[in-house]
Chain A
Amino acid sequence: DAKTTQPNSMESNEEEPVHLPCNHSTISGTDYIHWYRQLPSQGPEYVIHGLTSNVNNRMASLAIAEDRKSSTLILHRATLRDAAVYYCILRPLYNQGGKLIFGQGTELSVKP
């Protein structure tokens, strides 16, 4: 299973953009890049996913490097409710039956 590497923690100020990096140097051509976040006392929440092109949705943007060995989750204006652990996960397109491999993730704290 391909592995991802993320910083253990990051800090941000409220209403400023946040760039959460993820390295996945062993990614294969059919691996999708998924991001989830987990707020305190809740289950993980799907944020965004992509394959090769940058992706945008109402929650965030995903910027994928041209060689696909890294990606960045972008929160355009952080709010206090964005404080959570963010997980970057590689998921094979022809996946092995629903298995997500979670690393330790990045704990994002947002200061008012």
Chain B
Amino acid sequence: KAGVTQTPRYLIKTRGQQVTLSCSPISGHRSVSWYQQTPGQGLQFLFEYFSETQRNKGNFPGRFSGRQFSNSRSEMNVSTLELGDSALYLCASSLGTGYDGYTFGSGTRLTVV
């Protein structure tokens, strides 16, 4: 079966711009989570959506937002980009039952210049 698909794979943006990243989960998975990975902070949880509702949110500023569509696809938006937002952004999908494993995508590498 197809895995978790993230687009685009690479992105270069300028400070102050905004960006939208996309994640298509595994078919049948209703939960999509987003993570930011940087060399200094490691993997940090951004937020999770389940059936179009945000269930949980990490400690990130309001510039980071997301949404989930009725087909479970999710988008993440970052507004007013800062240099420190340069990172690998990963999404993960799961059934959302609470004890199943997560399947991660390969990520979107965002560079802010």
Question: What's the tally of chain A residues with a CB closer than 8 Å to chain B?
Answer: 26
- With an 8 Å Cβ cutoff, the count of chain B residues facing the other chain is 26
CB of A99 within 8 Å of the partner chain = yes
Q: Could you tell me if B98 and A93 are in contact, using CB atoms closer than 8 angstroms?
A: yes
Residues of chain B within 8 A of A91, CB atoms compared: 99
Among the 9-residue stretches B14-22, B79-87, B103-111, the one with 4 or more Cβ atoms under 8 Å from chain A is B103-111
Residues from chain B with Cβ under 8 Å of A44 in the complex: 43, 90, 92, 102, 104
Among A97, A103, A104, the residue within 8 A (CB) of B48 is A97
A100 touches B106 (CB 8 A): no
A residues with a Cβ closer than 8 A to B are 32, 34, 36, 41-46, 49, 87, 91-105
Given A41-B106, A43-B106, A49-B101, 13 extra CB contacts under 8 A: A32-B99, A36-B102, A43-B107, A44-B90, A46-B101, A91-B99, A96-B56, A98-B55, A98-B96, A99-B48, A100-B102, A102-B35, A103-B42
